[in-house]
Amino acid sequence: MRYFRLPSLSRDVWRVIAVNAAMTSLFAFVSIFVNLYWWNQGTPIFQVSLFNLASTLALFGAYWIGTYVLSQRDIRTVMVLSTVGAGMTFVILALSGAGGRLVYTVAVGGLFGATQGFFWAANNASMYTVLPADQYADYFSALTVIGQAVSVVVPVVTGAAVAAWGFHRSFLAMLLVVAAAFGFAIQLPHQGFDEAVFRRWHVREVVRKPGTAWVLLVVFFAGLINQFVTLFSLVYLFTISTRVTVVTALNLASALVLLAALTTYRRLRLTQDAWIVLGSFSLAIAFGLALAIRQGLWAIAVVFLLRVGGLWVSGASGRQRYRVVMQGDVAWRTRFGLWMEVPFVVSRTVVLTGSLWVRHLGDPVFLILMGVTMVALGGLPWATRRAVRAYDEGIEWSSKATS
Residue 329, Cβ density class (10 Å: 0-12 exposed, 13-18 middle, ≥19 buried): exposed
Q: What is the pLDDT of residue 198?
A: 65
**Distance, CA of 349 to CA of 167 (rounded, Å):** 28
pTM, two decimal places: 0.90
Q: What is the mean pLDDT of residues 16-30?
A: 92
Residue 350 in contact with residue 313, Cβ under 8 Å? no
N-terminal to C-terminal alpha carbon distance within the chain: 52
pLDDT tier at 125 (50, 70, 90 boundaries)? Answer: confident
Domains belonging to the chain, first-starting first, are 10-188 (1.20.1250.20), 204-395 (1.20.1250)
Handedness of CA 262, 264, 266, 270 (dihedral sign): negative
CA angle 64, 66, 71 (to 5 degrees): 95
Q: What is the pLDDT of residue 4?
A: 47
Q: What is the pLDDT of residue 1?
A: 40
Tens-digit pLDDT profile for residues 252-310? 999 899 989 988 988 888 888 889 889 999 999 998 888 887 666 788 899 999 999 99
* Residue count (the chain): 403
Handedness of CA 215, 332, 318, 177 (dihedral sign): negative
Query: What residues have CB less than 8 Å from 378, skipping those under 6 apart?
Result: none
Q: What is the pLDDT of the chain when averaged over all its residues? A: 86
Q: Which of 96-110, 126-140, 224-238, 281-295 has the highest mean pLDDT?
A: 224-238
